[in-house]
Amino acid sequence: MAAEAERPRILYGDAGPEPPYPLRMEGTVISGFGRGSKELGIPTANLPVDEAAAPWIATAKSGVYFGYASLALPDTHPDHAQHHRRHRGNPRAPASAPPAPLPPSSNDTAAESPSSEPEPPSRWQIYPMVMSIGYNPFYKNSVRSAEVHVLHKFAADFYDAPMRLLILGFVREERDYPSLDALVVDINVDCEVARQSLARPAWTPRQGVVDGPGGEFDGSWLVREE
């Protein structure tokens, strides 16, 4: 426990990501080992490790990384509907913001100008995330995997949803653990490191995140439309 308590909660300087970051990765969320929610209480989304699409991953150090994930959730997903209701009047509204008011009636001449129409929210939603790349020595995996824990509580699974990752920094190397409890403790520290490291203006995308306002970092790739 002492080692976890001594780990710094903020990594890198306040000026923003440094080379070789940011690194990009994208794909469709696939089913993984089924351990995240059941054994760890920490649900993960898995992406295929595709060296052709992300050449950097072939030489990437196995371990834990942090950054942002964007998801294009289907219209039927409850988080998609909630996001669009919340952002109807302000596409960058934080999660704590109340729903936008109903549009004015046709008799309200004060809102007739076309310039007052808000731009529609992107179908891509940005979330902070922490991820592991490697073999997970505790479970002795034989296949290298990329497991993403999005720092948001979702109302439903999102298998087959398109996901983009913008990886901004490295947290720690992968390691083995004497017990499941020790693994969970370390993962929770990883999550806190990601939250605090990203909660700075130069580390927050201008496009905003679902659980907070926008910042100074250019995250346009995360929400660009094809």
Contact 149, 44 (CB under 8 A): yes
Confirm whether 147 is a catalytic residue. yes
For residue 138, the one-letter residue type is F
Q: Which element (helix H / strand E) includes 80? A: helix 78-86
Provide the phi-psi class of 160: left if phi over 0, else alpha when psi is between -120 and 50, else beta.
left
Angle at 18 between CA 130 and CA 207, to 5 degrees: 60
Alpha-carbon gap, residue 162 to 37, rounded angstroms:
21
Q: Dihedral sign, CA of 71, 155, 94, 23?
A: negative
Catalytic residue from among 4, 18, 147, 192: 147
Residue 50 to residue 223: CA distance in whole angstroms: 21
Q: Provide the residue type at 89 as one letter.
A: G
Dist CA 64 CA 133 (whole Å): 6
**Which of 90, 67, 87, 54 has the alpha carbon at shortest distance from 150?**
67
CA dihedral (60, 64, 67, 72) in degrees, to 10, reads 90
Q: Are strands 145-150 and 162-173 parallel, antiparallel or unpaired?
A: unpaired
Known catalytic residues are 147
